[in-house]
Structure 1
Amino acid sequence: MAKTNSTIDATDIVQDSPVLRALPEPLRPYARLARLDRAIGTWLLLLPTWWGLSLAWIGHPALPLPSPWYFLLFGVGALVMRGAGCTWNDITDRDYDGKVARTATRPIPAGEVSVKMAVLFMVTQALIGLAILLQFNRETVIVGVASLLLVAAYPFMKRITYWPQAWLGLTFNWGALVGWSSMQPGIATPALVLYAAGFFWTLGYDTIYAHQDKEDDALIGVKSTALKLGDSTKQWLWGFYGIAILLIGVAGWLASAGWAFWPILAVAAAHLVRQILTAKLDDPANCLAHFKSNRDFGFIILAAILAGGITTG
């Protein structure tokens, strides 16, 4: 299968990652399988969880801040569960990955890790994630385990729909519900609205990400919103991101966030506007940089929610 770029130039593996250099050689393929060389996916999975935790904290005026211990537990949990999800994705996509320049050197298609060992590695990561989840209340455990249904189905979505990014939005933002449930009984309306906001945010940033692979995807028959929306992508991005900001605002209002929430939310909105205006959807490096910039957006929203909690009442 012809590739649009040379494998070395197009690979998504970080060639000089300090994380990989710090590990013994035999462990490096597993670290790459878990994407430890690329933290952005962990941040994008984690930040909605921190949003939900912090939004729920606004209803607990007796607490000066959300528990740092919860922040840490969710951080480690996101790291291992993102690794387990990526491992599952690579197991199911191994035949596709070998045909795409950006993914051809991943450990399974490159022959560095067998499918059997990848499954064992995935289960190990999932068990660590379960051990972390069990540190929370019963409701949080139930909500967290429910996300596995979304995770399991995600790799197959690109084969059956042009909207796999929508499924990723449902999956990656589930943490907003998990974070909320760790602080509040029941999944209340603010948490659901925040989850919906994250869904539209993910539709935006992962559509940008998908534009890196659109030529290869078209060749091998893999579907994405990048292919579906094509030249009209930017118009859709205005809609996706606009709805996301609106819903985050509604979630903050429903949670009675204080005045400081609103100016910081405006900064976050400006960040997304700049992202749309400067995105070059036919430039893979530009798409990747804009995708990664969503970590900054996530932290701005976190700051808005925390500031809203501090200034409430």
Structure 2
Amino acid sequence: MEPMYIYATPRQIAQWQQDQKNKHNTQHTLNQQDLHTSCVCHKETKQSLRKSNHTTVYLLLVSLLTALTSFAQSSQEKSIVFRAISPASDHYKTLSAADATARGGEMEAITFPEKDFSRGAYLKMRTVYVDVPAAFFKLKTFPANSSDQTRGELDYLLELQERRAAGDEALTDTLAIVYHDPLSTNPLDPDYTRNMNSLFFVGRDLGPWFNPEQLPFTSQVLQNVIQDATFYFFSLKAQFNRARPYQLEPRLKNLEAPGHASYPSGHSSASHVHAYLLSSLLPEYKEQFMRNAYDLAFSREVRGVHYPSDSEAGRVLAEQFVAQLLKSKKFRADYAAMKAEIERVRNRQSLTLQK
């Protein structure tokens, strides 16, 4: 029996399977059309490039335009499930433009209480692939508690609190449990299924085949990756020791009270690690991966437990972490084997649907 994908409903799975069958039924016609168009375009492109002799410049311009298009996305455009309440601008960029320096006063003394930091065990974990000090990752200091930027972020969270509906809150309840605990990998643990499936959440658009049962080696590699990432983002949390938003703004009605400091966001860090890594494996799905990661990060703002600057710092950390990860000789060997497993299972799934 095919394992039920924990983050997809039976209706979604059935729809995905039907879409695959429909796609197969029309593929021959589309391929013929695409082949003709591709041949014509390819011929014209080759002639144009021969005449211009500026292939390198052309590719650089395409790359630059792609980067600028991605940078210009609004928060609504980044989202899949929170478009209705995501700002129409890029709120990370807008809020970060304010002055981040301290204005002084009692607020500057507020930090996350050391006695409440309940994830000290993560700081003692051994990493698998990446072996650099936490200070290697360059995150700028978070905006001061009394700064204009922090005040702007708190006002934004209050506005978001007013806009969130019961359905938004319920959705954030679901997303709150999408995290992988590296210290909880015993198959007999009642939390085991949720824990393992969290590793596959960002890639859920790939279909029901993308799960730990069908991809056991990929599951192990992702466990190792998130173990490393967790060590680093919790080390940075302990280093910065930023107070949670509701510790500075009593009008915030936070939907939970995490037992660790705020900066950077763990959900944002882990989900963006998955997004960047999966994008290197399956670049054609990059947009979906990044939107899923955005929604996980944004859900923490909706819950009132993270500042937007926490979310953005998590993304920046993830980008740096994956770049360092790809330099690891041990990881590159596992990366190749993981890629081969994904391609094999993906192709087998496709063949099954075509029968």
Give TM-score, length-normalised by structure 1: 0.30
Give TM-score, length-normalised by structure 2: 0.27
Larger radius of gyration: 2
Structure showing the higher helix proportion among its residues: 1
